[in-house]
């Protein structure tokens, strides 16, 4: 492409350096992977995100561009909404399907009762104490917990208060239970699934997680990062620039 054509293309793009872009994160990428991809692929100098998603999780990730990287806390403080599926009867060391199975239990007839399952879920509505899982990005003494967990180390973690503003069962197809949850920042949905399984009495782990909303922002308005057969990511530059928001 000639230099004149390159200049023309740049002039046609609505260049908005500062702002946010909503991304529908695919499974398998870390939040840092998305940040790195957007920075390198589209030439932004500063890129960040507001609210980590596990590699297993999909859904809404707020990407902060240029000057908006300074406003991470503003967006991270929003409530989050998720749709998730847990599997009863199996416990793992990471509290999700990527972990090592540590315990299996038969689901007893009483534990299969939809009324019991719904009642247990509702016990978690409101302010609850939650112990951060060892396989998490939380730092203690400057070390990320998951880095220590991978070395076989376990640290004592103090429980912290989080708020489950709404939680409801969407479908029961045992051993799978799909549910919706709206919660405060800092809530670990993997740990929530683990604790729900414990209360039901047969254990559980998370098998699917999708973040659908962060505050007023919805995944329905997010730009999907598509994956080609050779596993390289592609998104047109126009799509990125046209998707940049400059919220108040």
- Residues marked active site are found at 54
Residues near 65 by beta carbon (within 8 Å), at least 6 away in sequence: 17, 18, 19, 20, 21, 44, 46, 47, 244
Helix pair angle (114-123, 189-200), 10° resolution: 130
Please give the backbone phi and psi of residue 180, each rounded to the nearest 5 degrees, phi first. -110, 140
Task: Report the b/e string of 96-125 with b at 16+ CB within 10 A.
Answer: bbbbeeeeeeebeeebeeeeebeebbeebb
The Cα–Cα gap between 49 and 65 comes to 9
What is the DSSP annotation of 122-134?
HHTSEEEEEPPPS
Mode of pairing for the β-strands spanning 58-65 and 204-214: parallel
Q: Are 181 and 82 in contact (CB under 8 A)?
A: yes
**Strand, helix or coil for residue 239:** helix
Q: Which two tokens stand for residue 102?
A: 């540590």
Please give the backbone phi and psi of residue 112, each rounded to the nearest 5 degrees, phi first. -85, -10
């Amino acid at each position: 492409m000639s230099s004149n054509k390159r200049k023309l293309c740049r002039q046609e793009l609505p260049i908005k350096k500062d702002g946010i872009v909503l991304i529908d994160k695919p499974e398998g990428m870390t939040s840092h992977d998305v940040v790195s991809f957007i920075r390198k692929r589209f030439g932004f100098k500063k890129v960040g995100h507001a609210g980590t998603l596990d590699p297993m999780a999909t859904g809404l990730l707020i990407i902060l561009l240029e000057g908006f990287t300074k406003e991470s806390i503003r967006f991270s403080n929003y409530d989050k909404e998720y749709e998730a599926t847990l599997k009863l009867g199996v416990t793992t060391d990471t509290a999700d399907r990527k972990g090592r199975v540590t315990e299996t239990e038969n689901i007893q007839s009483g534990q299969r009762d939809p009324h019991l399952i719904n009642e247990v879920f509702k016990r978690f509505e409101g302010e609850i104490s939650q112990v951060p899982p060892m396989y998490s990005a939380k730092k203690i003494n400057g070390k990320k917990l998951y880095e220590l967990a991978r070395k076989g180390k376990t640290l004592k973690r103090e429980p912290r208060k989080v708020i489950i503003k709404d939680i409801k069962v969407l479908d029961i197809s045992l051993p799978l239970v799909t549910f919706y949850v709206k919660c405060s920042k800092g809530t670990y949905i993997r740990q929530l699934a683990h604790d729900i399984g414990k209360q039901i009495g047969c254990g559980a782990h998370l098998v699917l997680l999708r973040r659908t909303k962060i505050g007023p922002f919805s995944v329905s308005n997010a730009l999907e990062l598509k994956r080609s057969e050779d596993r390289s990511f592609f998104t047109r530059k126009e799509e990125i620039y046209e998707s940049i928001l400059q919220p108040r």
